[in-house]
A and B are shown apart, each in its own frame.
Chain A
Amino acid sequence: MEHITTPKVENVKLLDRYTNRKAANGTLYLTATHLIYVDASAEVRKETWILHHHIATVEKLPLTTAGCPLLIHCKNFHVAHFVIGQERDCHEVYTSLLKLSQPVKPEDLYAFSYNPKMSKDNREIGWKLIDLKVDYQRMGIPNDYWEITDANKDYEVCNTYPPEIVVPRAANKATVIGSSRFRSRGRIPVLSYLYKENNAAICRCSQPLSGFSARCLEDEQMLQAIREANPGSPFMYVVDTRPKLNAIANRAAGKGYENEDNYDNIRFKFIGIENIHVMRNSLQKLREVCETKSPSMSDFLTGLENSGWLRHIKAVMDAGVFLAKAVKDEKASVLVHCSDGWDRTAQVCSLASLLLDPFYRTFKGFMVLIEKEWIAMGHKFSHRCGHLDGDPKEVSPVFTQFIECVWQLMQQFPCTFEFNERFLLEIHDHVYSCQFGNFLGTCHKEREDLKIFEKTHSLWPFLLQKKQEFRNPLYRGFTAYKELQPNTLPFSFQFWCGMYNRFDKGMHPKQCVLDHLLSCMSQKMKLEDNASELENKLPFLDGPLPTEACSFPKMGSASKTPMLNTPQDYEGEPPPVLTNGTAVGDVEVMSDVDQKNKENLSKHQDPHDLKDAFGVLDSEAKDGKPQHP
């Protein structure tokens, strides 16, 4: 709170991205966690909430006659353009936001103050919702070839790995330790996913410290052990997800890649995914394209091409597809690494799992996947998301790219995911929000040091509570589809307007199929409930049924079914073609997420149905039944 010098500024304008709209006039508030803008000119109270942690950049633009403009770019692609009357006020808000958006100390992150008034027990249960051991059991581990070892319990093998890792049984302690000395930051090959059908495994690690000629017997044994854990295949793939040139350059620094001559029966392959810096710049260019005012079609497509963004998405997808094919079609195990094995490696391993195993396309499975391949294996969320004041060169949209790949798969396979696009957006929001402990820090050890598990809440139970709105109504169940083989020709990748122009509501379809189908589903559920209720009553009833009971549930949530397109939905404004040629303006300032955050704040409810949520999930996971209501 010490950063807030001016908690309230009046007479603040919020400019519309589309100049033809009249700017809103209202009051700006700074709270400990949010910037809140209340539009006084609107008939209905309209609020815009921006979480401080969501702020990526704050810019003071040159003074205009209207006042002092303050431009805020958010990590969830929200852009807010305020104009503050007094230069002094503007400057104070500006300096406050700079500090609030990027705290120096981890203890200042939202998660440590976020208090949903949940009992201690429930909070702890929340953290136990995802148990990676259960997932390994699902894969049949431990088995004859693989074991879960606590070799890393004191982080002596690798301080960015979790205490428990899965390695081949054949790899003894000496092999593990020896290999760890030969791998960048000790990130030895460990199991990511075992394809039960044919014993082929996906393993991950960091680059070897091979330089120009160095070798390591234990590391060679380790790879041999992995290959031999899949007796059905005479060889294994070693995939370096970097462009070849980058890998070669690393040799000069004593790192590099595996020499095929030194390892028995490996097939080495480069898959050129660019590094975090290229990705950061690419996203910056994409942002600029998305924020261009009324671009022509050519401007947009050229900008999209020049950003390279979809090229990178395709590269990640191609790599995931390669892994899945190697495992399923060639029955070969794959060892994947990049440089440190926590960015590109996390992307492609988790994508391959998603392609191979329908479990990861369920609510629970997707949470497990993120916990396993990203959180536990030390993807540096804190650095990549810029949670704290730190090196801007460490920031990179690696996780965003993964989320987008999942979305691209959803477009090609609309019935295969239990969850919908909103679930992805919600997770993406919370990776940056720092409201929950899951994504704080850079690795398990750091989260332990930060006492995340004692002091903060886990995101997953909160998401499960809202499961109904995240459900994919077209999901055909766990058993309907097994492996996915996406088309990776360029045309099958679409620009994700729902993410990068998410807050430009005018650009989105004006009628929402998802909401309609969700309401169809809930209506069906209510009908079924009603029917059984009626059946129960029947024996006691004489004469005609009371009309009340007969009439169908009146969709009490009419307001919640935007399918019933209220005129305001789009009757608002025609595209302003008359004035300047193009563009449509219909921007809803208040974002859903902000609304939800607000609700989270205001309703400090104890999620008493948390345990029920667990029950449902577990039974689902066990019998793997589709969950059609």
Chain B
Amino acid sequence: MEFAELIKTATVESVLLSGAGLPPVRGTLCITSHHLLLSSRPGGDGAPGTVELWLLIRNVDAVEKRLAGSSGTITLRCKDLKVLQLEIPGMEECLNVASSIEALSSVDSVMMMYPFFYRPQDLRLEAGWHLFPLEQYYQQIATQTSQWRLSGVNRDFAACPTYPPAVIVPAAVDDEALRKAARFRQGGRFPVLSYYHQKNGTVMLRSSQPLTGPNRKRCREDELLLGTVLDEGERGFIIDTRSAQAAKQARMTGGGTEPKSSYPRWKRLHRPLERGRPLQESFIKLVDACNDTSLTMDRWLSRLESCRWLSHVKAALSTACLAAQCLDREEACVLVHGAEGTDTTLLVTALAQLILDPGCRTLAGFQGLLEREWIEAGHPFHLRCARSAYSHARLKQEAPLFLLFLDCVWQLGRQFPFSLEFGERLLLTLFDNAYASSYGTFLGNNEKERCLCKVKESTHSLWAWLNQPEEKRKYLNPLYSRNALVIWPSVEPQSIQLWQGLFFRWIRSSKYLDEAWAEIQRLVENDDTSVEESAGNRRSQSLSDTAAQTENER
């Protein structure tokens, strides 16, 4: 396929661009393989030849055209929720531009995507790809306990196509048993270690559902694997992210859940979390309501309620708290799974770690968490983030699980404003890049796919770009001060707010809030530059000793 075939009109003069809170500007529109550019004409409002728009075409979620007389207006609804209008002189040009953008934005082949063509000068191709190897995480655990080993059973992705080549498993279970256990779990996702709670040595595992089926099949190796996790007399919790009924019904299609009789030391808790199409629809309805400026207060609240987005936020946080509570308070091991183990499962395990582990709350630690628990763990980004809230295309497997996760992280940051090293801006950037990116980090659905497409060899890593000192500065939370404690969020409805910074990013002006952050920065920096040392001491001293022991520099 050649991109040139898809581009019917490469340039159009005198196009009027408006939207996203910017003053309208007229200029020349260019369509390239991956970008839509608009440069203002010399002598126009902007400086001569200024590029006013540099839009990744992959970011376009929906193209709407309206013809009026000899000209037409194209509305571009983007995956980052921005809405742009292009007023194009000439009907034919308008139709051509629209169909070119539609065609280019629908290119679905991973290898055709922009990251494979993006070559920034100041980044090295290999930088950032090996920042957070699982081996490193394993080394940390190995210093504490010898009960776990790093297994290469999935080296060639044979045991589980959606797991990374290396996984952390009980030392007592050999690779052959793992292979057998994998055959008993949907998609081969046998239980692996997700998190080791250093405070008390409990662990959080994740997997997919067991394939018990209607005949209540059993698997000795799977039972053995979970059995070895628990010490003599210990009990563990299985958090199933489906309702008890849904888990039961799954048996009819070959799935199911761990029966009490075969896993006597594991107590099952059902916490249904929304996923798949209903979650995508919730997202669409919310964005719809946010964009409707004609709503009365009653209609707004009613639509906020009926879209159920905030209910999903509350449910996700509650379930993550439950997992964290089992580990930290009940001192019990936890296994989390839903059905496939690639969506709500990861939402819960990642959030629980953020709540428990101060190491995940630094900028680097958070990137590591995303690598381990979302990217390497095989959240199918390519499928889930193929379309955003505006698309008219038929829904396939889109679902905003990752956005829901980011929203929950934002809620944590709001309730604990000093405890996350990164700010809202990082979360927004992650959302944008998950849906359309110049970087390869979120490409594909799993490590196997990324391997086949040579993503790590042929694209740049988002982390390499983010971690450049100049960039990094923008994502830091000026109020951050390391906090070794568990951060238990409140999950009362009164404590959960709509994330305006995301859902209203292009609708409301953030001028006054930005000024407030600048002011905070000013106040805090003055404080820090003058008393950096003493402030550091002062802050850490206030943490209790026992709590401080649980932290460990990552």
What is the interface of chain A, defined by CB distance below 8 A to chain B?
290, 294-302, 304-305, 308, 310-311, 314, 412-416, 473-474, 476, 487, 489-495, 497, 501, 504, 506-511, 513, 516-517, 520-521, 523-524, 527, 551-552, 555, 558, 563-567, 570-575, 577-578, 581-584, 586
Q: Does B146 contact A (CB under 8 A)?
A: no
In the complex the two chains form, is B497's CB within 8 Å of A574's CB? Answer: no
In the complex the two chains form, is B488's CB within 8 Å of A570's CB? Answer: yes
Please give the distance in Å from A250's CB to the nearest CB on chain B. Answer: 25
Query: Whole-angstrom distance between the alpha carbons of A346 and B315 in the complex?
Result: 43
Given that A296-B311, A305-B298, A491-B498 are contacting pairs, would A510 and B487 also be in contact in the complex, using a CB cutoff of 8 Å? yes
Please give the distance in Å from A602's CB to the nearest CB on chain B. Answer: 28
Q: Which of A299, A493, A564, A581 gathers most chain B CB within 10 Å? A: A564
Q: Does B452 contact A (CB under 8 A)?
A: no
In the complex the two chains form, is A308's CB within 8 Å of B493's CB? Answer: no
Given that A509-B416, A524-B526 are contacting pairs, would A575 and B297 also be in contact in the complex, using a CB cutoff of 8 Å? no
In the complex the two chains form, is B542's CB within 8 Å of A564's CB? Answer: yes
- Which residue of A has the minimal Cβ distance to B324? A574
Q: Please classify the interface of chain A as helix (H, G, I), strand (E, B), loop, or mixed, using the class held by over half of its residues.
A: loop
A304: chain B residues at CB < 8 Å are 301
A sample of 10 cross-chain residue pairs with beta-carbon separation below 8 angstroms, ordered by A number, consists of A412-B512, A487-B509, A489-B295, A491-B498, A506-B492, A513-B479, A558-B538, A570-B416, A573-B488, A583-B492
In the complex the two chains form, is B295's CB within 8 Å of A490's CB? Answer: yes
- Using an 8 Å CB-CB cutoff, how does the interface string of B286-303 with A read, 1 for contact, 0 for none? 000010010111111110
The interface-forming segment of B48-56, B129-137, B514-522 is B514-522
Given that A510-B415, A551-B534, A578-B322 are contacting pairs, would A298 and B311 also be in contact in the complex, using a CB cutoff of 8 Å? yes
In the complex the two chains form, is B486's CB within 8 Å of A474's CB? Answer: no
Q: Which of chain B's residues 482-506 have a Cβ closer than 8 Å to chain A?
A: 483, 485-498, 500, 504
- Using an 8 Å CB-CB cutoff, how does the interface string of B386-421 with A read, 1 for contact, 0 for none? 000000000000000000000000000011111100
In the complex the two chains form, is B296's CB within 8 Å of A565's CB? Answer: no
A552: chain B residues at CB < 8 Å are 530-531, 534
In the complex the two chains form, is A511's CB within 8 Å of B305's CB? Answer: no
Q: Which of B293, B298, B479, B527 contacts A311 (CB 8 A)?
A: B298
Q: Does B329 contact A (CB under 8 A)?
A: yes
In the complex the two chains form, is A509's CB within 8 Å of B414's CB? Answer: yes
Q: Which of B326, B488, B539 gathers most chain A CB within 10 Å? A: B488
In the complex the two chains form, is A584's CB within 8 Å of B516's CB? Answer: no
B328: chain A residues at CB < 8 Å are 574
Query: Whole-angstrom distance between the alpha carbons of A489 and B504 in the complex?
Result: 11
Query: Whole-angstrom distance between the alpha carbons of A487 and B527 in the complex?
Result: 33
In the complex the two chains form, is B542's CB within 8 Å of A566's CB? Answer: yes
Q: Does B330 contact A (CB under 8 A)?
A: yes
The 7 closest A-B pairs by CB, nearest first: A300-B493, A490-B300, A301-B305, A414-B516, A564-B542, A305-B301, A297-B311
Query: Whole-angstrom distance between the alpha carbons of A437 and B282 in the complex?
Result: 53
Please give the distance in Å from B290's CB to the nearest CB on chain A. Answer: 7
Query: Whole-angstrom distance between the alpha carbons of A5 and B485 in the complex?
Result: 49
Q: Does B169 contact A (CB under 8 A)?
A: no
Query: Whole-angstrom distance between the alpha carbons of A529 and B523 in the complex?
Result: 17
A574: chain B residues at CB < 8 Å are 321, 324-325, 328-329, 486, 488
In the complex the two chains form, is A584's CB within 8 Å of B301's CB? Answer: no
Please give the distance in Å from A129's CB to the nearest CB on chain B. Answer: 29
Q: Does B543 contact A (CB under 8 A)?
A: yes
B314: chain A residues at CB < 8 Å are 296-297, 582
Q: Does B513 contact A (CB under 8 A)?
A: yes
- Which residue of B has the minimal Cβ distance to A531? B530
Q: Does B318 contact A (CB under 8 A)?
A: yes
A508: chain B residues at CB < 8 Å are 490, 495
Query: Assuming A491-B290, A511-B416, what are 16 further A-B pairs, CB within 8 angstroms?
Result: A296-B493, A301-B301, A414-B513, A414-B519, A491-B500, A504-B492, A507-B490, A509-B416, A563-B481, A564-B542, A566-B542, A567-B543, A575-B321, A581-B318, A582-B491, A584-B492
- Which residue of A has the minimal Cβ distance to B542? A564
Given that A310-B297, A415-B512 are contacting pairs, would A507 and B418 also be in contact in the complex, using a CB cutoff of 8 Å? no
Please give the distance in Å from A531's CB to the nearest CB on chain B. Answer: 10
Please give the distance in Å from B509's CB to the nearest CB on chain A. Answer: 8
Q: Which of A298, A566, A581, A584 contacts B305 (CB 8 A)?
A: A298
Query: Whole-angstrom distance between the alpha carbons of A142 and B488 in the complex?
Result: 59
Q: Does B179 contact A (CB under 8 A)?
A: no
B504: chain A residues at CB < 8 Å are 491
Q: Does B29 contact A (CB under 8 A)?
A: no
Please give the distance in Å from B445's CB to the nearest CB on chain A. Answer: 31
Q: Does B544 contact A (CB under 8 A)?
A: yes
B488: chain A residues at CB < 8 Å are 510, 570-575, 584
Given that A301-B310, A490-B300, A563-B418 are contacting pairs, would A558 and B542 also be in contact in the complex, using a CB cutoff of 8 Å? yes
- Which residue of B has the minimal Cβ distance to A571? B485
Query: Whole-angstrom distance between the alpha carbons of A286 and B295 in the complex?
Result: 21
B515: chain A residues at CB < 8 Å are 414-415, 476
Q: Which of A296, A491, A524 gathers most chain B CB within 10 Å? A: A491
B295: chain A residues at CB < 8 Å are 489-490
Q: Does B123 contact A (CB under 8 A)?
A: no
B415: chain A residues at CB < 8 Å are 509-511
B319: chain A residues at CB < 8 Å are 577
Given that A302-B305, A517-B523 are contacting pairs, would A297 and B318 also be in contact in the complex, using a CB cutoff of 8 Å? no
Given that A414-B516, A476-B515, A567-B544 are contacting pairs, would A311 and B308 also be in contact in the complex, using a CB cutoff of 8 Å? no
In the complex the two chains form, is A565's CB within 8 Å of B418's CB? Answer: yes
Query: Whole-angstrom distance between the alpha carbons of A494 and B304 in the complex?
Result: 13
A510: chain B residues at CB < 8 Å are 415-416, 487-490
Query: Whole-angstrom distance between the alpha carbons of A244 and B438 in the complex?
Result: 57
B297: chain A residues at CB < 8 Å are 305, 310-311, 314, 490, 493
Q: Does B508 contact A (CB under 8 A)?
A: yes
Given that A513-B417, A520-B527, A574-B321 are contacting pairs, would A495 and B512 also be in contact in the complex, using a CB cutoff of 8 Å? no
Query: Whole-angstrom distance between the alpha carbons of A487 and B483 in the complex?
Result: 36
Given that A573-B488, A578-B326 are contacting pairs, would A490 and B493 also be in contact in the complex, using a CB cutoff of 8 Å? no
Q: Does B524 contact A (CB under 8 A)?
A: yes
Query: Whole-angstrom distance between the alpha carbons of A310 and B296 in the complex?
Result: 11
Q: Does B547 contact A (CB under 8 A)?
A: yes
Q: Which of B489, B493, B498, B544 contacts A295 (CB 8 A)?
A: B493
A575: chain B residues at CB < 8 Å are 318, 321, 325, 488-491
Query: Whole-angstrom distance between the alpha carbons of A314 and B491 in the complex?
Result: 27
Q: Which of B297, B418, B497, B542 gathers most chain A CB within 10 Å? A: B297
A513: chain B residues at CB < 8 Å are 417-418, 479, 520
- Which residue of A has the minimal Cβ distance to B543? A567
Query: Whole-angstrom distance between the alpha carbons of A583 and B488 in the complex?
Result: 12
- Which residue of B has the minimal Cβ distance to A586? B490
Please give the distance in Å from A541's CB to the nearest CB on chain B. Answer: 21
Q: Which of B296, B301, B328, B418 gathers most chain A CB within 10 Å? A: B301
Query: Whole-angstrom distance between the alpha carbons of A304 and B304 in the complex?
Result: 11
Given that A495-B494, A567-B543 are contacting pairs, would A524 and B516 also be in contact in the complex, using a CB cutoff of 8 Å? no
- Using an 8 Å CB-CB cutoff, how does the interface string of B311-349 with A read, 1 for contact, 0 for none? 101100011011011101110000000000000000000
In the complex the two chains form, is A487's CB within 8 Å of B508's CB? Answer: yes
Please give the distance in Å from A14's CB to the nearest CB on chain B. Answer: 20
Please give the distance in Å from A507's CB to the nearest CB on chain B. Answer: 5
B512: chain A residues at CB < 8 Å are 412-416
A305: chain B residues at CB < 8 Å are 297-298, 301-302, 305
B299: chain A residues at CB < 8 Å are 490
Given that A491-B290, A570-B485 are contacting pairs, would A308 and B531 also be in contact in the complex, using a CB cutoff of 8 Å? no
Given that A297-B310, A314-B297 are contacting pairs, would A516 and B418 also be in contact in the complex, using a CB cutoff of 8 Å? yes
A489: chain B residues at CB < 8 Å are 293, 295, 508
In the complex the two chains form, is B526's CB within 8 Å of A520's CB? Answer: yes
Please give the distance in Å from B266's CB to the nearest CB on chain A. Answer: 15
Given that A412-B512, A415-B519, A507-B494 are contacting pairs, would A577 and B524 also be in contact in the complex, using a CB cutoff of 8 Å? no
Q: Which of A493, A504, A582 gathers most chain B CB within 10 Å? A: A582
In the complex the two chains form, is B298's CB within 8 Å of A583's CB? Answer: no
Please give the distance in Å from A146's CB to the nearest CB on chain B. Answer: 33
